Amino acid sequence: MKQNRMSPIRLIPFSFLAAILIGALLLMLPISTADGEVTDPMTALFTSTTSVCVTGLVVVDTYSHWSFFGQLVILVLIQTGGLGVITVVSLLMLAGKKKLYLGDRMLLSDALNIDKKKGLLSFVRRIFRGVLIVEGIGAFLFALEFVPRLGLWKGIWASVFQSVSAFCNAGMDVVGPDSMISLRGSPLIMGVTMALIVLGGLGFVVWFDLIDTLKKGFRRIRLSEHTKLVLILTGLLILGGTLFILASEFNNPATIGNMDLPHKIENSLFQSITFRTAGFASVPQDKLNDLTCMGGTVLMFIGGSPVGTAGGVKTVTAFLFLLNALSYITRRKENVIFGKAVSGELMRKSAAIFFFSMISIFIMTGLLIAAEGLSQTDAFYEVVSALGTVGLSRGITPTLGFVGQLVIIVSMYFGRIGPISIAILVAREKGTDNSITHAKGKFYVG
């Protein structure tokens, strides 16, 4: 008997929506709040969305409003959203010795946004083990600082929460109301947080390529073209962002202006890394000058790298979009990276993701300005942060009304599933190629 299966283009967004709604219902329970009261539906929905979409924008303080149970629900939602709902469900099926059929494997491949059918389950298991190891190490290192500060149990819980949140690029914590501002004096916490953010944002493909290559010995290092591109782009964005923020905020007394040079560099580096989908803040975001905000929105829009926990259009997507324009200008017949040609389909996919992401930003910014009467800078910053699943805020999110919160909720949801859905929509599937070739028309552009 033939089973009717929902297509991946519908099932993947639906899985995230289902996780959000389940999370919202759990967060509405009295047991989820510190005072034992029922949380209103909009606040619960907003918190669940920001958790599943690993964004980090909040309308209530995570550390004070929610009980341990509520924070645990949020942590599970962050981990689920960071790995992807389909991936987590597949892992649970594997743990329960359930067989994954061909359709399940194809769906999992689409959810991960990779063209990998052979060895896919081994790849997923490897992701799970790698995530546990990295988050475990992060939690242990955080505990060295948090346990003496907060006590044994609260310190351990804060360490686990911080590690998962940083690795999944969620930007939420249970330490205090000012994110990392009160913790920026700790090199350990700052350093471990930055390391986890970068590791989560590199992507699992890059992880395993680096590990497998190093196992062969330094004399035989042969990284894939994708890994080399991601490492170069990540390094350039982090370094360029650090120098830009350092120069832009150097004399701003409300951010890094009163710090000595080493701390200015450290906090500029942290801001550069956190701009790219993490959401932790070591300086007040509403005190950043307009030039820094403008540069920051570019970093937020680009985000991390493919097949990882970060959001944004992704580094490779943005690079291919730029490469396509440069190839036209230089009259190259094909797009080549490290001696390897990039397929036309991949170039079209990158252009589609880039285009629809830009359109979404302008629409949502316009709606937020109309609904809340915000300045263009504040509205644009908030929307890009939501769509890029970053979570940085200029203090606007807690003040939003119903419509404004709804705009941000939709932005966070679309930012988490939008690029994936668009990629699947424009991806070539069997039987969807045009069978008719038309005569070339004469059109003019530019």
As for how many domains the chain has, the answer is 1
Question: Is 112 contained in some domain?
Answer: yes
Say if CB 309 and CB 84 are below 8 A apart. Answer: no
Q: Does 440 reside within a domain?
A: no
The reply to whether 344 falls in a domain is yes
Mean pLDDT on 294-303: 92
Asked whether the predicted pLDDT for residue 312 surpasses 70, the reply is: yes
Gap between the terminal Cα atoms of the chain: 55
The residue among 399 and 307 whose pLDDT is bigger is 399
pLDDT at 2 over 50: no
Q: How far apart are CA 410 and CA 400, in angstroms?
A: 14
- Of the candidates 200, 174, 172, the one whose C-alpha atom is nearest the C-alpha of residue 46 is 172
- Specify the pTM: 0.85
Asked if 415 and 303 count as a contact pair (C-beta separation under 8 A), the reply is no
Asked if residue 354 is part of any domain, the answer here is yes
- Lowest model confidence (mean pLDDT) among 133-147, 171-185, 372-386: 171-185
Look at residue 326 and tell me whether its pLDDT is greater than 70.
yes
307 domain residue, yes or no: yes
438: in domain: no
Domain extent for 255: 8-426
pLDDT at position 352 is 85
Note whether residue 222 is domain-resident.
yes
pLDDT, one tens digit per residue, over 147-206 is: 999 999 999 999 999 999 999 888 888 887 787 888 888 899 999 999 999 998 888 778
Helices marked H in 84-167 — which ranges? 85-95, 102-112, 120-150, 152-167
**134 domain-assigned:** yes
Residue 98 has pLDDT above 70, yes or no: no
